[in-house]
Amino acid sequence: MRKLNLTLKVWRQKDDKGKGKFETYKLNNVSEESSFLEMMDILNEDLATKKIDPVAFDHDCREGICGTCSMVINGKPHGPLQTTTCQLHMRSFSDGDTITVEPFRAGAFPVLKDLVVDRSAFDRIIQAGGYVSVNTGVSVDANEIPIPKDIADEAMDSATCIGCGACVAACKNASAMLFVSAKVSQFTLLPQGQPERHRRVQKMVAQMDEEGFGACTNTGACSAVCPKEISLTNIARLNREYLTAKVTAQEV
């Protein structure tokens, strides 16, 4: 089993008001089987023994499910592989590597401390319309509402978005269109989401703009780093839904 000697350049920022900077740390004998977050744990243990404030970073499930492990590693959200940071292992790096670790960069994701950013803007977008509020009745047999398999699969693919924010961090405009479009699509494609489809898309897009996310210019960087491989076709669907909602509102 390989052991790695690494140089880490980590963004340190005391709080949301302070100015941050990179600090350089040496870390030796790191197992290649360690996850990236386990490597950060080892770094923090070393810093604690030296009476240095540990590096603050977000994490929860460490199973690639929750999406909280937001870091930009060597310039790429979540690191060199298209996966979450917690599922990235040190075998993706080489002995003697210098690894730069910084928080997601976006005006709508202000840095709270070190590598921790405030992604509550996503929560407010969901609160604006990312749900089904109409009475859908009692539980029915799974086959009672016929849904073509391709539509069901597409809705499920959209619903796999974990809201990690890598799409925003990768976009040169810090656009949230991939996230919002995935959340719009997962409801729009299914019968239960149809009654509120026009209100939903208008409210979620309005909230996205209010939060200060940038515009989409179709570079595709968002989908390229998405750990759940959310398709760009969702953005096309969002644009169609939004335009339809606006035209329908004018006709009424």
pLDDT in tens, 220-235: 999 999 999 999 999 9
The verdict on 77 and 189 lying in the same domain is no
Residues 6 or more apart whose Cβ sits within 8 Å of residue 163: 67, 119, 122, 179
What residues make up the domain containing 227?
A: 120-251
> Rounded to the nearest 5°, which phi and psi values hold at 27?
-135, 125
* Domain CATH code at residue 202: 1.10.1060.10
Are residue 35 and residue 96 in the same domain, yes or no?
Answer: yes
Please give the tally of structural domains in the chain: 2
Residue 252 has pLDDT above 60, yes or no: no
Strands 3-12 and 98-102: parallel
Whether 242 and 195 share a structural domain: yes
79 in the same domain as 129: no
Residue 53 has pLDDT above 70, yes or no: yes
* 128 & 245 share domain: yes
Residues 125 and 108 in one domain: no
What pLDDT is stored for residue 136 in this prediction?
Answer: 63
Residue 142's pLDDT is 63
Same domain, residue pair 151 and 105: no
Domain with 67 in it: what CATH number? 3.10.20.30
197 lies in the same domain as 244: yes
Alpha-carbon separation of residue 150 from 70, 145, 157, 159 (angstroms): 32, 15, 10, 14
- Cα dihedral angle (72, 118, 162, 33), rounded to 10 degrees? 40
Interatomic CA distance for residues 125 and 107, integer angstroms? 15
Q: Specify the residue for token string 């209010």.
A: 210
Q: In the Cβ-directed half-sphere of 64, how many Cα atoms lie within 13 Å? A: 15
The answer to whether the CB of 73 falls within 8 A of the CB of 99 is yes
- Do 44 and 14 fall into the same domain? yes
H/E segment holding residue 31: strand 21-31
pTM: 0.93
| Residue 219, token pair as written in the block | 């570079």
Choose the final residue of a domain: 86, 112, 138. 112
Per-residue pLDDT tens over the stretch 185-201: 999 999 889 999 999 99
pLDDT of residue 141: 72
The two tokens of residue 118 are: 């405030």
Q: Which of 81, 112, 143 corresponds to the end of one domain?
A: 112
CA dihedral 236, 241, 247, 248 (to 10 degrees): 160
67, 94, 112 — which closes off a domain?
112
Beta bridge partners of 98: 7
The answer to whether residues 7 and 65 belong to one domain is: yes
